[in-house]
A and B are shown apart, each in its own frame.
Chain A
């Protein structure tokens, strides 16, 4: 496995639409700094956009933190999105294409999962949700 994430960036508060834009710009800058390709940058920024929007949409507010790993052979970024919102009742369902409780496309979570190398989600009803995304400079996942 790749090197551990040794560099923490200050968490970004996600409180409004504006912060979604800041979050994906920050991720984009970080990924560019690690030498990610234009495609990989866009994939990751879009995934971050999805989970940030879900924070606003369902939890109202939360945070997004970045951790970078740039000492190993394959640099990577870990994105942790956390909120103390209502949580997700059925994660398996939420991860299915087209499932949405607000009559939207329902492509956010499953889409974001396809855009990154590693995807984890933990959620407790009434407590909140944490989504972790990881992406490596050289993708470890077949396109």
Chain B
């Protein structure tokens, strides 16, 4: 978050200098009540069994309690700038790290607000209007904190998702060695440039290691082949050829075939065979295997 974004958000929640002044006036009360409010807060929290799991040991609990007490006082000390935001984001990250769900984190504020409201009522006895104004200012600041917490959570989430995507990418293009010198590469899903590069690199390594002579690339699972994908396919085939392997492409759907023809991309250099089964048979023929039909419909291969 930048300085600009912060001041924009402050405007959106209508947090003004007036709010800052009101909150600062609360400072002595905050100091006085930090201890009992936070203690009670965690007592309430830990009365729920599902919450206890998140604070397994005393040290974690003591740490967050101490942080929360500091935070409680901090709410009334003014100067809600970038430093303040960074501290808040850190607290959000700590809670995310212990896997506390965001809904729980936000629900905790409800109890917190109740606690504060009843203390304010007592402290401002006979001045209900004033108490109400101060409470509103506090709510605005807490609202900002909630927004920041959600930011911190979703940022972490996005990072996690991205990491998983990377992992899936690498797992999702297995190079299968089904017979001596024969590899199958089933490609599933959307191919972007990064993935295409990965697939090519992986295939070339496998060709070397297996000393493969024929590779069947099956693209049944690829929904779109644009010029870039087609180009990559052609380049992969060329590279494989340089390593002494032939490539058979299978699984071109009729939609994709029609699209490629209209696009005008020349795939004539690709050896395409309808389906994977046909591709493997063609590969076996190239490798000189003969399929011998045995009795009862069984068949086996014989190197020729």
Contact = CB atoms under 8 A, between A and B. Distances in A.
Interface of A: 17-18, 20-21, 24-25, 28, 38-39, 41-43, 45-46, 49-50, 53, 97, 104-105, 107-108, 110-112, 114-115, 143
Nearest to B263: A111
Interface of B: 190, 192-194, 223-228, 230-231, 254-256, 258-259, 262-265
A97 B264 contact: yes
Contact of A49 (B224, B264, B265): B224
A61 B254 CA distance: 33
Contacts of B259: 39, 42-43, 46, 115
Contacts of A114: 262-264
A105 B229 CA distance: 11
A107 B264 contact: yes
25 contacts: A17-B194, A20-B192, A24-B224, A39-B255, A41-B255, A42-B224, A42-B255, A43-B259, A45-B223, A46-B226, A46-B259, A46-B263, A50-B226, A50-B227, A50-B263, A104-B227, A104-B231, A105-B230, A105-B231, A107-B263, A107-B264, A108-B227, A114-B264, A115-B259, A143-B262
A112 B226 CA distance: 9
B194 A46 contact: no
A43 B226 CA distance: 10
Contacts of B227: 50, 104-105, 107-108, 111
Contacts, number: 69
Contact of B262 (A17, A25, A43, A53): A43
The interface residues of chain A, by DSSP majority, are classed as helix
B85 to A, nearest CB: 25
B281 to A, nearest CB: 27
Given A105-B230, A111-B264, A115-B262, 15 more contacts: A17-B193, A18-B192, A25-B190, A39-B259, A42-B256, A43-B258, A50-B226, A50-B227, A104-B227, A107-B227, A107-B263, A110-B264, A111-B262, A115-B263, A143-B262
Contacts of B192: 17-18, 20-21
Contacts of A41: 255
Q: Indicate the member of B225, B227, B228 with the most A CB atoms within 10 Å.
A: B227
Nearest to A106: B227
A21 B256 CA distance: 16
